[in-house]
Structure 1
Amino acid sequence: MKKWKRYVMLLVFALVFGLMFGCSGENASKEPAQKEEPKAEQAAFPVTVKDGLGEEVTIKSEPQKIVSLIPSNTEIAYALGLGDKIVGVSDFDNYPEDVKKKEKIGGMEFNVEKIISLKPDLVLAHASGAHNSKDGLQQLKDAGITVLVVNDAKSFADVYGSIGLIGKATGTAEKAQEIVDNMKTKLAEIKDKAKQIKESDQAKVWVEVSPPPQIYTAGKGTFMDEMLQAISAKNVAGDLEGWPMVTEEKAVAYKPDVIITTYGGAKQVLDRPAWKDVPAVQNKRVYDVNIDLVSRPGPRLIEGVEELAKAIYPDIFK
């Protein structure tokens, strides 16, 4: 009987002590919530997204090792704060500086074996980014690697979509939205500033992406054309599609007020005898711009718009 009473007393003591301990301080009551926070973040995975080919891709868990096959995807990944997770990049990657430390996986033809050896859990691909793209991507999938094909961006809207897609696939959707919102805000500010330029004062611009004998320019459906429209400038080749080849005679006949080159050819243009009567040459209004900023579909496109604006309208965009 005494043993039974002693057992009851011990049980009561244990219950009372447990209640006292459970209510004894704020730290104890908050500890479970702190432990649960990481679980809430991880709850976003698995996640299923629709890639640039319209196919549904499921990412089972938050990617820890990422390989990027083209520079634009790399720049987006870095902007999303994923630089430490990037284990491989293309031979063409040059931004940010940190990419120089990353393993190179090839150029126009990526090295499938090299990528597999890096053991990535996500490959950021691009349908038209490599000659061996289709077969190579299938080999990566067969090796159990998740491949996400990002859309072939041709406009700012497409770029916003690419950033959002990569953000969702990597658990950085909030940061992706922040980047997109920031880009939209800056572009809107540039457009508002450009509204003060009267249509009669809009500069006629010739964009040259390669020199003679095969001169290529930027037509409609390109970032460059969209950028020129944003800053109230006229693309003299705006009636052409994509990146067309144009004869030197036709280029001269456009009589542009400003010439933009994307290959560092400003001096070359100024020295061409056949171009001496072109207004842009006569007034020495020929400028070089960074091709990556005006053609690479990533967060730095806004910098490209700003660079063009300052070159074409220096008095307005200082």
Structure 2
Amino acid sequence: MKRTSLIFMSLLFVLTLILSGCSGAQDHKDQSADKGKTGQNNQFPMTIKDASGKKVTIEHQPKRIIPLVPSNTEIVYALGLGDHVVGVTDNDDYPAEVKEKPKVGGYQLNIEKILSLKPDLVLAQQLLGKQQIHRLRQSGLNVFVVKNPTSFKELYGSIQMIAKMTGTGKKGDEVISGMKSKIKNVQEKLAKRPHPDKQKKVWVEISGPPEIYTTGKGTFMDEMLNKIDAKNAAESLSGFPKVSEEQAVKYNPDVIVLTYGGAKDIKKVEDRKAWNQVSAVKHHHVYTIDEGIISRPGPRMAEGVVQLAKKVYPDAFK
């Protein structure tokens, strides 16, 4: 079941990228906050065009919010609106307080439950599918479809947008500033690392044998590796491709990062017979990182950059 879940999530990521790409640059422009600081305009009512192309009117500052994907939940909490969250999905696990919130379903939403919680703002996302979003709107709910970000630039835009529609523009600016500062600080440390001219090659594995999946270009992980001056072993591939074990071994990475499991999974990688000559395995540079901070597009992605840097270039943090 665990492997099935990992593969399912990988395919969801691919679908999300496709859907996000289809929305086009114009949708992103329509969703972006007013030029300058988001705190400059938090007046209600406001009408904003969402990622589905629909103009959504928000009559007053939302007091009862239901985010329908974990990334949006994390953004809402980072904006200081946890007390206004009246429901979350079965997939939400951060922050800890969400465990006490009413659940409204997983990939299949319980619309009756959502209606019973009487939200004045429902934050959806494209990966929920047009049919479910249509059903939500047909039920009379005020639904805003947030663009699913596939880069830090788009993530900052999503934070600005949610901050704008919830009247928390200043806090949104603070969240983004904090993220950028954290990334800048780690980059400054990396610039002073021993042998800064040596760029390490990193293999990222989101599912292991018999079906190996990795992250190629056009993904958050690829951008994160670029930010820490590391080379994505699968940079010639796109999205979240399935890769043969033979192909993976040929990359011969300096570091292997698993986005699943723990110590037992690291041991499994090191025990793979075909991998015993891979540099990362020979030197025991196989690590795991919490998937939530490297693949869930929310404020914790900045911490994901920090943790990734510490795994790839530990000498920079001694």
Normalised TM-score (structure 2): 0.83
What corresponds to 2:205 in structure 1?
208
Which region of structure 1 is more displaced relative to structure 2, 280-289 or 200-209?
A: 200-209
Q: RMSD across aligned C-alpha pairs, in angstroms?
A: 1.7
Which amino acid counterpart does residue 179 of structure 1 have in structure 2? Answer: V
SS at structure 2 position matched to 1:232: coil
CA shift, 1:207, in A, is 0.4
What corresponds to 1:191 in structure 2?
187
What corresponds to 2:243 in structure 1?
246
Task: Say which one has the larger Rg.
Answer: 1
Q: Are residues 270 and 135 of structure 1, via their aligned partners in 2, closer, same or farther at CA, if it must alter by over 3 Å?
A: same
Work out the number of aligned pairs and report it.
275
For residues 306 and 51 of structure 1, the distance between their equivalents in structure 2, rounded to whole angstroms, comes to 32
What corresponds to 2:121 in structure 1?
122
For residues 139 and 96 of structure 1, the distance between their equivalents in structure 2, rounded to whole angstroms, comes to 28
2:135 is the counterpart of 1:139: yes
Which amino acid counterpart does residue 175 of structure 1 have in structure 2? Answer: K
CA shift, 1:119, in A, is 0.8
What corresponds to 2:104 in structure 1?
105
For residues 184 and 314 of structure 2, the distance between their equivalents in structure 1, rounded to whole angstroms, comes to 19
For residues 247 and 136 of structure 2, the distance between their equivalents in structure 1, rounded to whole angstroms, comes to 46
What corresponds to 1:67 in structure 2?
66
Which amino acid counterpart does residue 155 of structure 1 have in structure 2? Answer: S
SS at structure 1 position matched to 2:315: coil
2:175 is the counterpart of 1:179: yes
Cα pair 1:94 1:100 within 8 Å, conserved = yes
For residues 42 and 144 of structure 1, the distance between their equivalents in structure 2, rounded to whole angstroms, comes to 27
SS at structure 1 position matched to 2:97: helix
Which amino acid counterpart does residue 310 of structure 1 have in structure 2? Answer: K
Cα pair 1:50 1:56 within 8 Å, conserved = yes
Q: Are residues 50 and 43 of structure 1, via their aligned partners in 2, closer, same or farther at CA, if it must alter by over 3 Å?
A: closer
CA shift, 1:199, in A, is 6.6
Structure 2: gaps (5+ residues): 1-39
2:295 is the counterpart of 1:290: no
Deviations 1:148-200 (A, max 9, x none): 11111100011101101110111111111111111112222222333346575
For residues 187 and 309 of structure 2, the distance between their equivalents in structure 1, rounded to whole angstroms, comes to 10
Q: Are residues 192 and 53 of structure 1, via their aligned partners in 2, closer, same or farther at CA, if it must alter by over 3 Å?
A: farther
For residues 207 and 99 of structure 2, the distance between their equivalents in structure 1, rounded to whole angstroms, comes to 27
Identical counterparts, % of pairs: 53
Cα pair 2:42 2:164 within 8 Å, conserved = no
Cα pair 2:42 2:168 within 8 Å, conserved = no
2:43 is the counterpart of 1:44: yes
Larger RCO of the pair (alpha carbons < 8 Å, separation 6+): 2
Normalised TM-score (structure 1): 0.83
SS at structure 1 position matched to 2:105: coil
For residues 107 and 140 of structure 1, the distance between their equivalents in structure 2, rounded to whole angstroms, comes to 14
For residues 52 and 187 of structure 2, the distance between their equivalents in structure 1, rounded to whole angstroms, comes to 32
What corresponds to 2:228 in structure 1?
231
Cα pair 1:49 1:168 within 8 Å, conserved = no
For residues 169 and 42 of structure 2, the distance between their equivalents in structure 1, rounded to whole angstroms, comes to 14
For residues 41 and 277 of structure 2, the distance between their equivalents in structure 1, rounded to whole angstroms, comes to 64
For residues 314 and 182 of structure 2, the distance between their equivalents in structure 1, rounded to whole angstroms, comes to 18
Which region of structure 1 is more displaced relative to structure 2, 253-262 or 184-193?
A: 184-193
2:282 is the counterpart of 1:279: no
Which amino acid counterpart does residue 280 of structure 1 have in structure 2? Answer: A
SS at structure 1 position matched to 2:237: coil
For residues 42 and 312 of structure 1, the distance between their equivalents in structure 2, rounded to whole angstroms, comes to 41
Which amino acid counterpart does residue 270 of structure 1 have in structure 2? Answer: E
Deviations 1:36-91 (A, max 9, x none): xxxxx998110122322343211011111111111000000000011011111111
For residues 72 and 159 of structure 1, the distance between their equivalents in structure 2, rounded to whole angstroms, comes to 10
Alignment counterpart, residue 163 of structure 2, candidates 162, 167, 179: 167
For residues 306 and 42 of structure 1, the distance between their equivalents in structure 2, rounded to whole angstroms, comes to 32
Cα pair 2:42 2:165 within 8 Å, conserved = no
